[in-house]
Structure 1
Amino acid sequence: MGRGTSTIKLDVQDLLTGTKHTERFRSGDMVEVTELDDHTCQFLYRNDGQIHLMDPHSFEMYEVPESVLDERQLQLLKPDMTVHLSMFQPDPEVPGKPISIKLPAQAIYEVKETHASAAQANKGTVYKNADLENGIKVQVPDFVNVGDKVVVDTETGKYVKRA
């Protein structure tokens, strides 16, 4: 931007408080890299605003506040689902603070109810509404029936294919 040395503008988030800031750095500035502990965990259950996870290798239990995930991601959680937990531990003496939970890219759900599709005269795939076992509503092709298992993209919440 203009004359002088190059600058980089970043939107950064405080790992402990969650507040966001806009910072500008010059090309010669140094920043400290924060190490996050990543754990592959198994989702067990939700209770009292907490998500309960277990590390399948060490059997260590983690309680994570539901606020780490948005409402759609909370609905996509299912028992025994493998998730990735990132924890921030600034001091080895203090237990780590959970920062984020990453769901798998795709997950399989059973169709509990489908709704009749409106007849369409145009070419192409005809879609209809379907309710999944977790309460999520998705658009599925007309050939998907009640009891079928479908693959859903956990990022977008959209139908991918029949399982």
Structure 2
Amino acid sequence: MKINGNEIRPGNVIEHQSTIWVAVKVNAVKPGKGGAFAQVELKNLLDGRKLNERFRASETVERVRLEQKDFTFLYEEGDNLVFMDTVSYEQLELNKDFVGERAAFLQDGMPVVVELYEEKPIGIDLPDQVTLEVTETEPTIKGQTQSSSYKPAMLENGVRCMVPPFVTTGEKIVVDTNEIEYVKRAD
């Protein structure tokens, strides 16, 4: 779908210079002399390069729609993570580096959404929160209030997270997978 250069918004995925980019920042500029334009900071979705580009209102760009498919995490095999398409049951292997440090939060049977461009995976969305058990943390000191500073804790997946002083070893907590931080005690 073609859109005018001044209609680009942050988060839009566009085709430019024969590859795909996501608009990170968009700044509308109206100079005193000449036509208005949009100064757009782009990030390449395939290799991570950044680019600042100027798009005039008269220019058109191709807005790309990414296909989003539901997958289920199956297992880890060496440096690869294996997912299954929930509709076709086809398996997809992605390198751990593709998922990044959030790969530690993957659990068997966890639903994820994979973004595809021309059948090639370019992004993955994990659930925003997961429940994990605290395997190691400092004991609570009597008289320490809930408003005091957080203490370090080791979670069952090997990730370190700061937790409130009242959380003890063996407790289950809800963790934000984006910020890697404590949210609340699990019910």
TM-score between both structures, scaled by the size of structure 2: 0.73
Aligned to 1:134: 157
Q: Using the TM superposition, give the Cα deviation of residue 162 of structure 1 relative to its aligned residue in structure 2, in angstroms.
A: 0.4
Cα distance in 2 between the residues matched to 1:146 and 1:51: 29
Secondary structure in 2 aligned to 1:31?
strand
Residue equivalent to 1:50: 80
Distance 1:137 1:117, change over 3 A: farther
Instruction: Tell whether 2:63 aligns with 1:33.
Output: yes
The residue number in structure 1 matching 2:38 is 8
Q: Distance in 1 between matches of 2:173 and 2:62?
A: 44
When the two chains are superposed, the root-mean-square deviation of aligned CA atoms in Å is 2.2
Matches within 5 A, 1:148-163: 148-163=171-186
The yes-or-no answer on 1:87 pairing with 2:100 is no
C-alpha separation in 1, matches of 2:61 and 2:167:
52
Q: 1:135 to 1:7 in 2, by over 3 A?
A: same
| Residues 13 and 20 in structure 1, CA contact (< 8 A), matched pair in contact too | yes
Is residue 2:124 matched to residue 1:101?
Answer: yes
**Structure showing the higher strand proportion among its residues:** 2
Q: How many corresponding residue pairs? A: 156
Alpha-carbon distance, 1:18 to partner: 3.8
Q: Report the CA distance shift for 1:106/1:7 in structure 2 as closer, same or farther (over 3 A).
A: same
CA contact (8 A) 1:113 1:131 kept: yes
CA distance in 2, matches of 1:123, 1:59: 47
The answer on 1:113 being equivalent to 2:136 is yes
Change (3 A) 1:17 1:114: closer
Counterpart contact for 1:117–1:126, Cα < 8 Å:
no
One-letter amino acid of the structure 1 residue matched with residue 155 of structure 2: L
Where structure 2 has 5 or more consecutive residues not aligned to the other structure, the ranges are: 1-28
1:66 CA drift (Å):
2.3
* Alpha-carbon displacement from aligned partner over 1:45-79 (angstroms, at most 9, x marks no partner): 222332211122321211122222222x1222222
Q: Distance in 2 between the 1:118 and 1:24 partners? A: 58
- The residue type equivalent to 2:109 in the other structure is D
Of 38, 59, 78, the match for 2:89: 59
